Structure 1
Amino acid sequence: MLQQTQVATVIDYYNRWMKKWPTVQKLAAASLEEVNRMWAGLGYYSRGRRLHEGAQKVVRDLGGEMPKRAEQLLKQLPGVGRYTAGAVSSIAQGQVTGVVDGNVTRVLCRVRAIGADSVSAHVTDALWKLADALVDPERPGDFNQALMELGATVCSPKSPRCAQCPVRTHCHAYGKVRLHQDRGSGRLLGKLDSTPDSSVPDVENCTSAGGCNLCLSEDWDSELGVQNFPRKPAKKAPRVERTLVCVLRRQCGRDDGEIQYLLTQRPGKGLLAGMWELPSMLLEADVPEKKHGDLLSTEVQRIVGTVTESLQYVGEVVHIFSHIHQTYVVYSASVCECVEGQREQKICWLDQSALQEAAISTGVKKIMKLYYESTSKLQDTKVRDQNTKRKHIPEAGKGKKAKRAGSAANGGLKQLSVSRFFTTSKPTSS
């Protein structure tokens, strides 16, 4: 759960997960649908699926016993990578083996002044060899946890606390910072002949200059200091996609009047594998907006086998995946029949409360939130219109009846206009 996800986000998910499946046997007995539902909103859903697959293999093929060695974990369990294998075997079993995660990569790259691309194969291999060489043979688990904690709390990405770092005297990156500071101070004081600290090797003086594949490939940036390390390649721009989505509802003659919404299940492989989503289709780049309705109606008819009614534009929702910038163009529609859908695609109809508990992604939750807000605003508008109409309806005792009552009170005489009042002669007294 902690892979690519912050601790604060994970805590609630972890507690609920362990309460529901406290043992590997209970997790193995669960369905993938239950696992996806529990994982919903956490992202990177393949992690939950592989955890489930791993539990099933342990129970089915390994007699319910977890492998104890890192190499066994790596080989026998799906979804277990080099880091997970090293962490579990050293912390839980006391195996003398190193770990390399993002925090450890940062610490080691700074300590050894490794300035090459930190995700390249040769740097990764060098970091693992270094981690294995450094690990304490007496307390490997404690050492690995301490190294990871050092990277998380002291040797942080953007605000490193070098003054509090317990290994700063061994850190080449910190030594380079001090070296450049001393050189700068010497220039200010006119000590141009000051001799640099020979205990900290400079990149320019590397004995394998030109052939070293671990050193900085660019000039040192004094403003960054130790943050020159580690170096990462420029991030690839995310793919931009637009997807048509339909919030399809039915009432299906239910006595309680509860509205149900249609969900379809995604394929078992790929992005959001096995998750439930609203009817949707990826838009080609050159499709004009005026064709959106026809395309979406055709897709919905393919799924449920009937024509939709009153397709309405709702709005747009942006959701960012790690590699996709997704914009959902949202419409809503209804079906008057109690349709069940075509058999070739797995679908389900859920009311609002059940939908909130289903295995849906954060993107779907955002879409439904937009839909509910849009529906609420529409209802508010209708109420205001009805109230406005009521204000123009004559109140009881007013209108024509009131006028007739007034005439009767004046003896049936009509009220004279101002001009006729002055031209009409006054009645004579008897």
Structure 2
Amino acid sequence: MGPLRAAAARGLRRGGGGGRGAAPAAREGTKGSAARGGRPAPPAALHLFGDPAEVEALRGSLLAWYDECKRDLPWRVLAVTEPDVNRRAYAVWVSEIMLQQTQVATVIDYYNRWMQKWPTLQALAEASLEEVNELWAGLGYYSRGKRLQEAARKVVSELAGQMPRTAEDLQKLLPGVGRYTAGAIASISYGQATGVVDGNVIRVLCRLRCIGADSSSPPVIDRLWAMANALVDRSRPGDFNQALMELGATVCTPKAPLCGECPVKQHCRARLRVEKELALASRKLLGKLPVVPDVEDCSVGGCPLCPPAAEPWDSSLGVTNFPRKAAKKQPRVEQTATCVLERRGRRGALEYLIVQRPSSGLLAGLWEFPSVPLAPGLQQEQQREVLVDHLQAWAGQPVAAGSLRFIGEVVHVFSHIHQTYVVYSLSLDGDVTLDLASSPSRWVTEEEFRASAVSTAMKKVLRACERQRGEESGPATGSKRKRGAKPGAAGSTRPGTQLSLRTFLRAPNPP
């Protein structure tokens, strides 16, 4: 067949996978056409579940599929085997926090380690933030672990160790628990008939009912919550919510949905539209119909759930026309100068100096190599001077910029920041004591470094240093990176040479 059939068929066949996503933050929605009187038109029947018989059929098909095909996940086992309601709710709570913006495959090991170390709310409440950060290191979005522990302490100290029993109270009383997390805990742990809306649910519902307006806008999010609450099975709310999310994670995936394997495909109006287009294209090729595109299935002008006029249905995308989101903001670009300070410890092992970040803000409370933000547009020598000024807080006396040894640049992309670390290293003599009073700090071995609460970005920085050290110890010696001082300048040395702290602290010779 022609390109239309081929493209649509690809959209129905290809498969993919993914983890659970948190519901997008509500943003100002796109403005649609208004009906008379200045009010938006109500959504058409195309976008709603108006037939009770269809709702019952959808519930039955989805739950039957879930019972047969659900993944075996540790938190699901605890949710059905743990008799203590507080432990059960805690186990679900931990999983839901970890699963926000993180793939299931990544979460499993973290979850098992967490529950082994802190099997109850009381155990977590007694832990230190340092311990929490150490276990969370590498999972990303570090404030999640901090808020989880804060909420656990509140349950123990203010609620007598009893978890709130409804979605409304969970959201109201526990810091860091939003509408989605509260609904998930209440439905899975307590059997409360309340829906949930996360990234997977948004995708499934938007495709089932051809919702093409910005899925992150407050009006659309409100509609999706109303739809989820209406659909949830009253006898098995927790299983139904997990089934809806499982469907989005394993079948109704973002880019390559397995429509042929979908247990609710007969209820999917996005798929029905694709089938209509295939039929129309087939009849056109047979000469039975003139070319009359079937563009609009919604007859309500200014429908708040239809795609904006500027973004019509794209036949090549098939069901992946839905959902639609506002254009994603580009992450801001930042640069940070970082210095890996090394020394030989008492037993000859290589040690690194790490310092603790502030207790609030990005990567709060985590440990890192001494680092300082760089203003935009600085030249290489200016960047070195900024780092030298920062290091003087540790050394307590003037530092020569030429003492720093350039390693390279390490890029790490956070959700909203494109961060480039300009990395230097310096080897110190062990017989000199640095002034470490300006911030919590400690010397650690490589093994201790990896066990500490350090970010993935800092692990990348250390790997860059180790990689260069390995290259220089091989047959081809000498550094390929020549961002250091010019030959003959104060504090300069041969490429690849490690400097002592005495050299590091030596003030530049006067001109």
Normalising by structure 2, report the TM-score.
0.70
Counterpart Cα distance in 1 of 2:475 and 2:393? 34
Aligned equivalent of 1:378:
472
1:322 partnered with 2:419: no
Counterpart Cα distance in 2 of 1:90 and 1:255? 56
- For residues 345-376 of structure 1, give each alpha carbon's deviation from its aligned partner in whole angstroms, at most 9, with x where no partner exists: 22222222211211000000010111122223
Kept after mapping to 1: 8 A contact 2:471/2:477: no
Q: 2:347 aligns with which of 256, 272, 293?
A: 256
Query: What SS does the corresponding residue of 1:224 show, helix, strand or coil?
Result: helix
Query: What SS does the corresponding residue of 2:404 show, helix, strand or coil?
Result: strand
Kept after mapping to 2: 8 A contact 1:246/1:331: yes
Q: Give 1:57 deviation, angstroms.
A: 0.8
Q: Give 1:340 deviation, angstroms.
A: 4.4
Q: Give 1:75 deviation, angstroms.
A: 0.7
1:247 partnered with 2:344: no
Assess, with a 3 A threshold, how the Cα gap between structure 1 residues 288 and 383 changes in structure 2: closer, same or farther: closer
Aligned equivalent of 1:341:
435
Structure 2, unaligned runs of 5 or more? 1-97, 479-511
1:168 partnered with 2:260: no
Q: Give 1:342 deviation, angstroms.
A: 4.2
Residue type of the partner of 1:59? V
Aligned equivalent of 1:424:
none
Q: 2:388 aligns with which of 292, 297, 302?
A: 297
Kept after mapping to 2: 8 A contact 1:243/1:281: yes
1:23 partnered with 2:23: no
Kept after mapping to 2: 8 A contact 1:264/1:279: yes
Q: Give 1:338 deviation, angstroms.
A: 3.4
Aligned equivalent of 1:45:
142
Kept after mapping to 2: 8 A contact 1:311/1:334: no
Identity %: 57
- For residues 107-135 of structure 1, give each alpha carbon's deviation from its aligned partner in whole angstroms, at most 9, with x where no partner exists: 10011110001111111000000000011
Kept after mapping to 2: 8 A contact 1:117/1:123: yes
Counterpart Cα distance in 2 of 1:311 and 1:381? 24
Q: Give 1:238 deviation, angstroms.
A: 1.5
Residue type of the partner of 1:219? P
Q: 1:117 aligns with which of 206, 214, 219?
A: 214
Kept after mapping to 1: 8 A contact 2:121/2:156: yes
Counterpart Cα distance in 2 of 1:324 and 1:341? 32
Aligned equivalent of 1:74:
171
- For residues 287-339 of structure 1, give each alpha carbon's deviation from its aligned partner in whole angstroms, at most 9, with x where no partner exists: 11122322211111123424557321111111111111111111011344532
Q: Give 1:381 deviation, angstroms.
A: 5.5
Where does 1:29-428 land on structure 2 (aligned, <5 Å)? 29-192=126-289, 204=296, 206-209=298-301, 211-217=302-308, 218-251=311-344, 254-307=345-398, 310-336=403-429, 337-380=431-474
Q: Give 1:234 deviation, angstroms.
A: 1.8
Q: Give 1:163 deviation, angstroms.
A: 1.9
Kept after mapping to 1: 8 A contact 2:137/2:454: yes
Which gives a bigger RCO, structure 1 or 2 (Cα 8 Å, sep 6+)? 2
Counterpart Cα distance in 1 of 2:379 and 2:156? 53
Counterpart Cα distance in 2 of 1:380 and 1:247? 21
Assess, with a 3 A threshold, how the Cα gap between structure 1 residues 305 and 335 changes in structure 2: closer, same or farther: farther
Counterpart Cα distance in 2 of 1:77 and 1:341? 41
Deviates more, 1:290-299 or 1:127-136: 290-299
- For residues 80-120 of structure 1, give each alpha carbon's deviation from its aligned partner in whole angstroms, at most 9, with x where no partner exists: 11111111100110001001111111110011110001111
Residue type of the partner of 2:455? S
Counterpart Cα distance in 2 of 1:114 and 1:369? 46
Q: Which runs of 4+ in 1 moved over 3 A?
A: 193-196, 306-310, 334-338, 379-384
Q: Give 1:377 deviation, angstroms.
A: 2.8
Query: What SS does the corresponding residue of 1:108 show, helix, strand or coil?
Result: helix
Query: What SS does the corresponding residue of 2:315 show, helix, strand or coil?
Result: coil
Query: What SS does the corresponding residue of 1:223 show, helix, strand or coil?
Result: helix
Q: Give 1:22 deviation, angstroms.
A: 0.8
Counterpart Cα distance in 2 of 1:322 and 1:195? 44
Kept after mapping to 2: 8 A contact 1:308/1:333: no
Assess, with a 3 A threshold, how the Cα gap between structure 1 residues 307 and 171 changes in structure 2: closer, same or farther: same
Residue type of the partner of 2:148? L
- For residues 162-187 of structure 1, give each alpha carbon's deviation from its aligned partner in whole angstroms, at most 9, with x where no partner exists: 22222222211111111111211121
Structure 1, unaligned runs of 5 or more? 197-201, 385-430
When the two chains are superposed, the root-mean-square deviation of aligned CA atoms in Å is 2.1
Counterpart Cα distance in 2 of 1:96 and 1:203? 37
